[in-house]
Structures are given as C-alpha cells and as structure tokens.
C-alpha cells in the first residue's frame, strides 16, 4: 500500500474533518502517500484529486462540514461512471480508498470493489447513528447536543406561553437523535420510525395531561416517523384538542453543522487511524467502528443490510419521566 485516497460522500457530519486529518497523518506516519478526492464519487469520476500532507490538514480538527466537500453522484450508479472513476484511480496510482460516509457510500464501494478490485475501508460518517457495526457514528454526538440546545430554548418559551411544541429532528429512518433529545429535553412524547405510536395515542396522552392542569408540552418527532412530520401531527392534534395552543419547530440542517464535540473528535481520530491501518493489513470492504469501546471491522454487507436496533427501554424512560 504505497498510495491511498480519502473522500467524503453523502450528508456531511461534524467530525468528518477530524477523520480526514487522522487518515492523512496516519498515512504520512507510515510513509504512505495520500490524496484527497473532492466531492465524493462525483469528483472521483472527474479526477478532482488533491495531494495532501500533514500541513494540508492543520487547523481542521475543530471545523464542521468537510474540507473535501461532499456530493451525490448519479453517474457513479452506472457501470460507465464507475469505469471512469476506476480509470482516474489508476491514473493517480491509488492502491486503496478510505470512504467516510454512510450506507449509500458503502454500497457504492462494495459494487466498485466487486467490479474493479479497489479495496476500501469505511469510516461511519453520519449524524443518524444508524449504521450496524459501531455504537456511535461520527457526528452523532454533536448533532444531538445541537438539537438539545435548541430544544432547551423551545422549552422555555413553551412554558412561558402554556404552549405545546412539536419539534422535528433529523432521522429519516432512525430515532437515534430523537430519543436522547426527548429524554434530555424533558419531552412528554417522542415519535420515531422504529415504534408504532399513533397520532390517536399522542392525542390521548396530551388530553389526559391537559385535564391534569399541565399547561406546556413538548413532543419530539423524528422526520421519518410513520405518522408523518411534525406539521402533520400537530394539525391532527389541534383538530382534536382545539384549546391546545400548538406550535411547530423544525430544527433542520443546523444539526449537521458546527464544531464537533470532544467525543466526535476522539471517535473520528480513532477511526481514521483504523481505516489506514486496516488497508495496510489487507482489509477490504469493511467499516471501522467502535463496539463496547473496542475497535472492530464490520463487512460492508452487514453494515448495509443489518438493522441497528433501538433500545426499547429508552421509550419507557420517556413515558416514566413525562408523568
């Protein structure tokens, strides 16, 4: 392994730059040349390669986003596009890849390796924390704390005006952000894709609390909940309980940005090192992750296909603590 390349793909997450930094400096430490590929698979096809060294990643560990940019590539989903990407890797003498991203990124890397034999080790870079094979993903801790800070402020105004706020957090397929936000933010209800909580059950809970003279409420809704988004749920609740003063707040993309937390910087650094050393040890088509505080490598097929389950005891915590 004489020359490797690193890229970020899919949605950005706080800590990606810390992971890039760790990859670059680990490669330099082991005497391996390293290139950064701009804009993920799209840049790989177009040949947007930048040679990196230790100075290239100085003063980046504290920055959110990704210095390598990120983009989704429709062309890479075609055989012709992947052939162009492979040709660019050959032209630049790349022996292996470090892919920082999520399921879509690893799916592309799996197909790419099957067709052209380019080994890839992945780093779990997503705020959703929904990847099998690691307890936490890079960016998750920061995203939760960003959302929770906003929820604390919303709770203040909900209490001041006796209102019911429906707060939507990210999580198209996962409630991993919603649950700690609900527990840490003192929410009465949390709605996530993994559990079947009907709008009727939400209405019943809020109406019961209203009759007990509780005057302010907080409902945290993951964007992918089966009952719909926060606006849809709020409209149904307002129709059923007209006397309830309802408001909706969508926290949105601020959850993706900002300086990574200490936990995310540590995780990203540890995994970045593991990715390079995994390539050096002949690993391919695996994701580096931390499970029970131990470094593990999980095959991309497992990461992509196996479901990371929500601890149902957390739902019970929300119910108990909202009394």
24 is in an annotated binding site: yes
CA torsion sign for 261, 56, 270, 308 is positive
User: Which listed CATH number (3.40.50.450, 3.40.50.970, 3.40.50.150, 3.40.50.300) goes with 3-139+260-305?
Assistant: 3.40.50.450
Contacts of 159 (CB under 8 A, 6+ apart): 216
Q: Which long-range contacts (CB under 8 A, 24 or more apart) does 296-299 make?
A: 296/133, 296/134, 297/121, 298/132, 298/133, 298/134
Give 260-300 pLDDT, tens digit per residue: 999 999 999 999 999 999 999 999 999 999 999 999 999 99
126 is in an annotated binding site: yes
Q: Which pLDDT does position 276 carry in this prediction?
A: 98
2 is in an annotated binding site: no
Give 97-116 pLDDT, tens digit per residue: 999 999 999 999 999 999 99
**Which among 126, 124, 125 has a CA at the least distance from the CA of 288?**
124
Computed over its alpha carbons, how large is the radius of gyration of the chain?
Answer: 22
- pLDDT(236) > 90: yes
Domain extents for the chain?
3-139+260-305, 143-256
Q: Which pTM was predicted?
A: 0.95
234-251 CB burial, b ≥16 within 10 A, e <16:
bebbbeeeeebbbebbeb
In percent, the amount of the chain with pLDDT more than 90 equals 89
- pLDDT(311) > 90: no
Same fold, 3-139+260-305 and 143-256: yes
Q: Which long-range contacts (CB under 8 A, 24 or more apart) does 307-316 make?
A: 307/132, 308/129, 308/130, 308/131, 308/132, 308/174, 309/194, 310/174, 310/175, 310/176, 310/179, 310/192, 310/194, 310/195, 312/195, 314/179, 314/180, 314/183, 315/179, 315/190, 315/195
Q: Do 308 and 132 form a contact (C-beta atoms < 8 A)?
A: yes
Taking the C-alpha atoms of residue 231 and residue 207, their distance in angstroms, rounded to an integer, is 18
Q: Which pLDDT does position 228 carry in this prediction?
A: 82
Paired residues of 249 in beta bridges: 167
31 phi and psi, to 5 degrees?
Answer: 75, 30
39 is in an annotated binding site: no
Give 61-79 pLDDT, tens digit per residue: 999 999 999 998 999 999 9
> Is residue 87 annotated as a catalytic residue, yes or no?
no
Taking the C-alpha atoms of residue 132 and residue 307, their distance in angstroms, rounded to an integer, is 6
Fold exhibited by the domain 143-256: Rossmann fold (3.40.50)
End-to-end CA separation in angstroms for the chain: 58
Catalytic residue among 12, 53, 128, 130: 128
Q: Which pLDDT does position 208 carry in this prediction?
A: 87
- pLDDT(227) > 90: no
Q: Which pLDDT does position 196 carry in this prediction?
A: 84
Please report, to the nearest 10 degrees, the dihedral formed by the alpha carbons of residues 284, 287, 293, 295 taken in order: 10
247 is in an annotated binding site: yes
């Amino acid at each position: 392994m004489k020359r490797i390349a690193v890229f970020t793909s899919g949605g950005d997450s706080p800590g990606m730059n810390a992971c890039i930094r760790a990859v670059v400096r680990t490669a330099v430490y082991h005497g391996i040349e390293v290139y950064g590929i701009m804009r993920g698979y799209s840049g790989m096809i177009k040949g947007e390669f930048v040679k990196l060294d230790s100075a290239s990643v100085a003063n980046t560990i504290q920055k959110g986003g990704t210095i390598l940019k990120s983009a989704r590539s429709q062309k890479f989903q075609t055989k012709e596009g992947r052939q162009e990407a492979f040709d660019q890797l050959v032209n630049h003498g790349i022996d292996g890849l470090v892919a920082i991203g999520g399921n879509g990124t690893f799916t592309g890397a799996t197909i790419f390796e099957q067709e052209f034999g380019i080994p890839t080790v992945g780093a779990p870079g997503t705020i959703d924390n929904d990847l099998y094979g690691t307890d936490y993903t890079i960016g998750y801790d920061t995203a939760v704390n960003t959302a929770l800070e906003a929820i604390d402020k919303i709770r203040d105004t909900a209490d001041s005006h006796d209102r019911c706020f429906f707060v939507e957090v990210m999580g198209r397929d996962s409630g991993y952000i919603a649950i700690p936000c609900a527990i840490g933010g003192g929410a009465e209800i949390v709605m996530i894709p993994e559990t079947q909580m009907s709008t009727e059950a939400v209405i019943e809970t809020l109406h019961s609390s209203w009759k007990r003279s509780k005057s302010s409420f907080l409902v945290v809704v993951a964007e992918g909940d089966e009952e719909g988004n926060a606006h849809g749920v709020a409209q149904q609740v307002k129709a059923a309980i007209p006397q309830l003063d309802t408001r909706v707040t969508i926290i949105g993309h601020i959850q993706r940005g900002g300086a990574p937390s200490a936990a995310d910087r540590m995780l990203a650094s540890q995994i970045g090192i593991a990715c390079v050393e995994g390539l050096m040890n002949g690993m391919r088509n695996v994701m580096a992750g931390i499970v029970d505080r131990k470094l593990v490598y999980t095959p991309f097929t497992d990461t992509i296909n196996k479901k990371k389950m929500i601890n149902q005891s957390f739902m019970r915590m929300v119910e108990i603590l909202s009394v």
